[in-house]
């Protein structure tokens, strides 16, 4: 196998996004896989398309390469490689095991038979044997082929092995016959795949706005006041919400991070710009999570010229408006319970007390407290440990990746949005 393909697969372990390998096997329905690529990307996934030789008779790899933004794998050994490298061929098997999921759509009778019997004579069938990721198969074929005992027996073998089958629909088939064998709808296939990945669809139809990163407050044309926020927690929240099917608006201060492609990202620099971006959009949001480390002050008069080093200077600072507190007041004045408002707090002592104080002062639903005195978590780290403080609760989220912590914060947002029915009985 060519190193270019290895490279594509090797990147998977490093990427923040989940990676789904989409195997396309030969059938009229192959073109429908294009829509599946699009929908998976909308949910924040990177999609590596693998086409069997037969699939390439129906759709050209270029279509999938353009859609997925990734090189399409079309054979075991990349074209032009005169001396396939055995080490590489072995290496790809270990890399294949780090995929998040293998989806095959459409899956032909031939591909299903190969998987069931353990035949590994092309890239897709080899990958199936090599990967330990969940496997999802969406069959599509002529009704007689579908109903044939050989196909059904092969499917039974796969089901027993834990492969998830997205059953085909019934209707007019490309061959002119009527019956079962039509590829399930792309929405169904995508939903089944995400479900296998343990990704809840519970934010479908909801808009989640996240602020992230620091703000920079200019001093002169080349200098600014800033802080150490990396933006990682906010970007993880955006990613996590996308995975749960939310529409995501990410309002980001300056960071070195790549925003998730499926999020609507608004880049801002100053606290004032962040405030405008948030206040322009807050009313159409269901959940707002302010993970940004907004600068508390801005420079009163920004020098239009670069300040020369002629001894000491004095900067007069003015406080910035508190965006979260403004949102809390606006929501309160509108007499609404939406959007759910969640803020962050960086504390070194009296964590719960300070968080509860912020909660009531800013009229918000929850404060996520970071203990910034603890090394190895928080600012610029990949991991975090937080306590989610609400009016009646304080939930400790033990140290975990920022993406996992983000999921727990979204769980809390959903609980606030849709309180358990029993809770209403005790509410004021
Ligand atoms: N926040 C904001 N606008 C500001 C300042 C903060 O929206 N001008 C938001 C932050 O995004 C965060 C929360 O408010 O969600 C942080 O509140 P803050 O009172 O600044 O708390 P700390 O940063 O912990 O600072 P301190 O308690 O020391 O004031």
Q: Residue holding tokens 């989806």? A: 103
Q: Which residues contact 302 (CB under 8 A, 6 or more apart)?
A: 218, 219, 220
Strands 164-165 and 135-139 turn out to be: parallel
CA–CA gap between residue 390 and residue 380 (Å, rounded): 26
Give the residue-averaged pLDDT of 234-254. 95
Q: Is 343's C-beta closer than 6 angstroms to any atom of ligand 1?
A: yes
Q: Is 345's C-beta closer than 6 angstroms to any atom of ligand 1?
A: yes
Half-sphere exposure of 152 (CA within 13 A, CB side): 7
pLDDT band for position 348 (cuts 50, 70, 90): confident
175 carries an active-site annotation: yes
- Name which residue sits closest to atom 4 of ligand 1, judged by CA: 322
* Start-to-end C-alpha separation, the chain: 65
CATH 3.40.50.1950 residue window(s) in the chain: 5-196
CA distances (Å), origin 189, targets 40, 97, 161, 237, 393: 10, 22, 19, 25, 38
Within 10 Å of residue 6's Cβ, how many Cβ atoms?
Answer: 18
Ligand 1 mean position to 375 CA, how many Å? 21
CA–CA gap between residue 103 and residue 58 (Å, rounded): 19
pLDDT at 420: 53
Average pLDDT of the chain is: 88
CA–CA gap between residue 393 and residue 107 (Å, rounded): 48
Q: Is 289's C-beta closer than 6 angstroms to any atom of ligand 1?
A: no
Ligand 1 mean position to 293 CA, how many Å? 7
Set 89, 175, 346, 394: catalytic member: 175
Q: Is the pLDDT of residue 79 over 90?
A: no
Residue 128, classed as helix, strand or coil, is helix
pLDDT at 89: 56
Q: Is the separation of the CB atoms in 183 and 168 below 8 Å?
A: yes
CATH 3.40.50.1950 for domain 5-196, yes or no, is yes
Substitution candidate for ligand 1 out of 212, 214, 324 with most atoms within 8 A of CB: 324
CATH 3.40.50.10300 residue window(s) in the chain: 207-426
What pLDDT, in 10s, does the model give residues 213-226?
999 999 999 999 99
Ligand 1 mean position to 325 CA, how many Å? 9
Ligand 1 mean position to 218 CA, how many Å? 19
Q: What is the 3-state secondary structure (H, E, C) of 367-426?
A: EEEEECCCCCCCCCCCEEEEEEECCCCEEEEEEEEHHHHHHHHHHHHHHHHCCCHHHHHH
CB-based burial label for 190 (10 Å; 0-12, 13-18, 19+): buried
pLDDT at 82: 46
Q: Is 124's C-beta closer than 6 angstroms to any atom of ligand 1?
A: no
Nearest to 105 by CA among 78, 124, 127: 124
In CATH, the number for domain 207-426 is 3.40.50.10300
Residue 17, classed as helix, strand or coil, is coil
In this prediction the pTM is 0.73
Q: Is 328's C-beta closer than 6 angstroms to any atom of ligand 1?
A: no
What pLDDT, in 10s, does the model give residues 279-329?
999 999 999 999 999 999 999 999 999 999 888 999 999 999 999 999 999
């Amino acid at each position: 196998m060519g190193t270019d393909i290895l490279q594509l697969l090797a990147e998977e372990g490093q990427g923040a996004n989940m990676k789904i390998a989409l195997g396309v096997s030969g059938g009229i329905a192959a073109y429908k896989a294009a829509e599946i690529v699009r929908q998976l990307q909308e949910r924040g996934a990177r999609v590596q398309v693998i086409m069997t030789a037969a699939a390439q008779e129906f759709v050209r790899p270029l279509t999938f390469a353009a859609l997925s933004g990734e090189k399409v794998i079309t054979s075991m050994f990349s074209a032009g490689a005169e001396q396939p490298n055995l080490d590489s061929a072995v290496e790809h098997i270990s890399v294949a095991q780090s995929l998040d999921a293998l989806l095959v759509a459409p899956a032909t009778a031939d591909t299903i038979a190969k998987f069931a019997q353990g035949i590994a004579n092309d890239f897709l069938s080899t990958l199936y044997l090599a990967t330990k990721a969940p496997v999802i198969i969406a069959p599509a074929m002529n009704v007689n082929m579908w109903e044939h005992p050989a196909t059904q027996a092969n499917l039974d073998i796969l089901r027993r092995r834990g492969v998830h089958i997205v059953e085909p629909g019934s209707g007019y088939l490309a061959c002119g016959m009527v019956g079962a064998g039509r590829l399930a709808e792309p929405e169904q296939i995508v939903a089944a795949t995400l479900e296998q990945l343990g990704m809840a669809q519970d934010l479908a139809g909801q808009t989640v706005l996240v602020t992230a990163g620091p703000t920079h407050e200019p001093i002169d044309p080349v200098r600014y006041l800033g802080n150490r926020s990396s933006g990682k927690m906010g970007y993880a929240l955006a990613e996590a919400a996308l995975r749960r099917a939310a529409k995501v608006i990410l309002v980001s201060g300056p960071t070195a991070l790549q925003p998730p492609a499926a999020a609507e990202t608004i880049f801002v620099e100053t606290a004032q710009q962040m405030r405008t971006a948030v206040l322009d959009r807050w009313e159409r949001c269901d959940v707002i999570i302010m993970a940004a480390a907004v600068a508390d002050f801005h420079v009163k008069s920004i020098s239009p010229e670069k300040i020369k080093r002629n001894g000491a200077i004095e900067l007069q600072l003015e406080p910035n408006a508190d965006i979260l507190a403004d949102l809390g007041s606006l929501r309160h004045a509108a007499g609404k319970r939406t959007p759910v408002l969640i803020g962050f707090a960086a504390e070194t002592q009296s964590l719960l007390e300070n968080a509860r104080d912020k909660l009531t002062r800013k009229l918000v639903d929850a404060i996520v407290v970071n203990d910034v005195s603890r090394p190895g978590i928080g600012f610029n780290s990949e991991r975090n440990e937080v306590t989610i403080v609400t009016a009646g609760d304080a939930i400790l989220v033990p140290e975990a990746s920022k993406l996992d912590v983000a999921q727990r914060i979204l769980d809390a947002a959903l609980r606030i949005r849709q309180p358990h029915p029993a809770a209403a009985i005790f509410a004021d």
